Amino acid sequence: MSQQLRIGGASGFWGDASAATPQLLAAGGLDFIVYDYLAEITMAILARARVKDPKAGYATDFVTSAMAPNLREIAVQGVRIVSNAGGMNPLACAEALREEIKKQGLSLKVAVVTGDDLLDRAEEIAEAAPQEMFSGSALPPVNKIASINAYLGGFPIAAALDRGADIVITGRCVDSAVTLGAAIHHFGWVPNDLDAMAGASLAGHILECGPQATGGNFTDWRLVAENLAEIGYPIADLRNDGSFEVSKPQGSGGLVSRGSVGEQMLYEIGDPQAYLLPDVACDFSQVTLEEVGPDRVLVAGARGLGVPNSYKTCLTWADGFRSGHVFTFYGLDAEEKAQHFAETVLQRCRTSLKRMQAPDYADVSVELIGTESQFGAMRNSGPSREVAAKIAVRHADARAVGLFLKEAVGLGLATPPGLSGFAGARPKPSPVLALFSYLTPKDQVAVRLLDEAGELQCPAFQGVAVVDAPRPDLPITPKAEKTVEVPLVDLAWARSGDKGDIANIGVMARDPALMPWIWAGLTPEHLQKVFGHFCDGEIQRFYLPGSESMNILLHGTLGGGGTSSLRNDPQAKGYGQLLLAAPIPVDADLWAKLRGTA
């Protein structure tokens, strides 16, 4: 066993660039390449695809774009592949890949991990009546359930690799499991190697979004603007203790720095001291990030708090229909005209619904893009002369959504002047697959491994019970004789995302001396001012002293979350940008010193 394991991350979502695999293969020296294709929205899409075609329901790009053109080089180099591209149909994905391997005359072994799909047990699950883990709501009717998938871990992947698999395909596993499974196999870890597994899980979390760790979606995007077209995909050199170094292929674009890696570490982790995965509960609060060379960052200090006894399980269910359209206005009073048009459309639709004795829309969204509508109380622009009016509705009946689309387009000649738009087909109502998340005890999920050697049952390993990590002391409230208002972007990096209906914003100080001021400035009151037009739930803040950062959770903020929301940004991808634009007070002398103007 070598002392290090070198893994490249080639995919962060279904549709990621096809250039990643050849780039990582050209870099050479990799033991594994891992691919993450799945998110809640992706699973909802794949569920609909499988209903239409029993052979569909997986990320076809994995076979056609990532594997087919590169299989021969993968075989030559002996690089092993782990991917959750199986989605809703891992067996069909494996069958398609085996056909491609055979066509190319290769002898690569493909293994499949199944057991995450619990749809055939919907009646049994309904009788148990689990509650939604975030909102506490009741289970939807069984006849509306479209999919049920438990999020599996890394040990079944390791078992497949132990049996000689060259390529492992899974259904729904946690994103980081494709990396953790490779590490468990390589280092021979057991369930109680908690700190090591927490570190490898963090490595998987850094790799799972591809170039988001190497300059993509980076606050300081200008540092990489000239070479984003050739951005490098991330590589992690893992050690037996769980620490690792992040880098990218030499000569590729992008940037690996404390800021770029730190942003990705904080991305969508929720409570950083209770990051619960199937194999280990992680505490990232003491993780340190050190730049140890050009485009190379050492990450260490993750801790494991025990082994959870359940799998997070995501259920999607049919919750009516939604659709929307964008109408552009330009000219004098464009904003006022767009708002009036939206109100007129909805008024006309509601009149028709009443005439039909149909209920009102379950949700309506009007956002005037170009008027700083996303900034709420922090808006500082005057009236805009160019506006995109995004109007969307949701209803239990597709006909009511179709009515909205018909009336909105039909008012084109009865609108205030200035309406324009790129010609195209009228959108159609689309089904809403709402998300319901809950916990399933591990002993109720039968995980199986299928490969050339046959079938292997993979019972969940038992480990030490999860303990709560002690909370770190919060930064001492700073004081200064004189303060100055500074936009947060000058003080910190930030990245945001979602977990269901919860927005997650990670903020990391550019300089440790600034962290007390950042913590003191980003109070719940300040956050309510920035996000009050979105947020009507609890606001939580968590401190990570190891990286001088904080994580913010805004509950009930996303209109139901990405699978059902009508929002322009249903996954909070731009929330970090909203926060970075808002100023907070800082010690004037400290700020002058850090800027070199003291």
pLDDT digits (tens, 9 = 90+) for 38-49: 988 888 889 888
Q: pLDDT value at position 413?
A: 84
Same domain for 261 and 184, yes or no, is: yes
The per-residue pLDDT string of the chain (598 residues; one tens digit each, 9 = 90 and over) reads 678 999 999 998 888 888 999 999 999 999 999 999 998 888 888 988 888 898 999 999 999 999 999 999 999 999 999 999 999 999 999 999 999 999 999 999 999 999 999 999 999 999 999 999 988 999 999 999 999 999 999 999 999 999 999 999 999 999 999 999 999 999 999 999 999 999 999 999 999 999 999 999 999 999 999 999 999 999 999 999 999 999 999 999 999 999 999 999 999 999 999 999 999 999 999 999 999 999 999 999 999 999 999 999 999 999 999 999 999 999 999 999 999 999 999 999 999 999 999 999 999 999 999 999 999 888 887 788 999 999 999 999 999 999 999 998 888 888 899 998 766 667 899 999 899 999 999 999 999 999 988 999 999 988 999 999 999 999 999 999 999 999 999 999 999 999 889 999 999 999 999 999 999 999 999 999 999 999 889 999 999 999 999 999 999 999 988 888 999 999 999 999 999 999 999 999 999 999 987 5
User: Is 470 part of a structural domain of the chain?
Assistant: no
Residue 411 lies in a domain: yes
Identify the pLDDT of residue 427.
83
Q: Which residue, 423, 438, 470, sits at the end of a domain?
A: 423
CB 35 within 8 A of CB 24: no
Amino acid at 224: V
Number of domains within the chain: 3
For 280, the domain range is: 4-115+151-308
306 backbone dihedrals φ, ψ, rounded to 5°: 135, 180
Q: Which residue bears the tokens 């720095």?
A: 257
Two structure tokens written together for 361: 């829309």
The answer to whether residue 49 is domain-embedded is yes
| DSSP letter assigned to residue 62 | I
Residues 397 and 524 grouped into a single domain: no
User: What's the pLDDT score for residue 497?
Assistant: 96
The CATH number linked to 409 is: 3.30.70
Do 372 and 295 share a structural domain? no
Domain membership flag for residue 50:
yes
Query: Could you please report the per-residue DSSP string of 513-562?
Result: GGHHHHHHHS-HHHHHHHHTTT--S-EEEEEETTTTEEEEEETT-STT-T
Decide if 57 contacts 114 (C-beta within 8 A): no
- Amino acid 3: pLDDT: 85
DSSP-based three-state secondary structure for 147: strand
Note whether 55 and 181 are same-domain residues.
yes
- What is the biggest distance separating any 2 CA atoms in the chain, rounded to whole angstroms? 75
CA 237 – CA 232 distance, rounded (Å): 15
Chain centre to alpha carbon of residue 259? 19
Residues in a beta bridge with 499: 502
For residues 392 and 265, membership in a common domain is answered with: no
The C-alpha angle 55, 61, 64, rounded to 5 degrees, equals 85
Amino acid at the residue 544: L
Q: Which of 141, 215, 267 is nearest to 549 (CA)?
A: 267
499 and 383 assigned to the same domain = no
Does some domain include residue 555? yes
- Same domain, yes or no, for 282 and 182? yes
Specify if 468 maps to a domain.
no
Cα–Cα separations (whole angstroms), residue 408 to 45, 349, 351, 428: 27, 9, 13, 12
For 251, what's the count of Cα atoms within 13 Å in the CB-facing half-sphere?
4
Which of 308, 341, 357 delimits the end of a domain? 308
**Strand, coil or helix: what is 378?**
helix
Tell me if 449 is assigned to some domain. no
For residues 89 and 187, membership in a common domain is answered with: yes
| 383 and 274 both lie in a single domain | no
User: What is the DSSP pairing of strand 32-35 with strand 80-83?
Assistant: parallel
Do 91 and 233 fall within a single domain? yes
My answer on whether 265 and 156 are in the same domain is yes
Tokens of 276: 């619960």
Same domain, 301 and 392: no
Q: Is the pTM of this model over 0.85?
A: yes
User: Does residue 333 lie in a domain region?
Assistant: yes
CA–CA separation, 212 vs 69, rounded Å?
A: 24
Where would I find the H helices in 356-433?
Answer: 398-410
The last residue of one of the domains, among 308, 340, 368, is 308
What is the C-alpha separation between 335 and 328, in angstroms, rounded?
10
Q: pLDDT at position 119, please?
A: 94
Which phi and psi (to 5°) does residue 35 adopt? -135, 125
CB 286 within 8 A of CB 546: yes
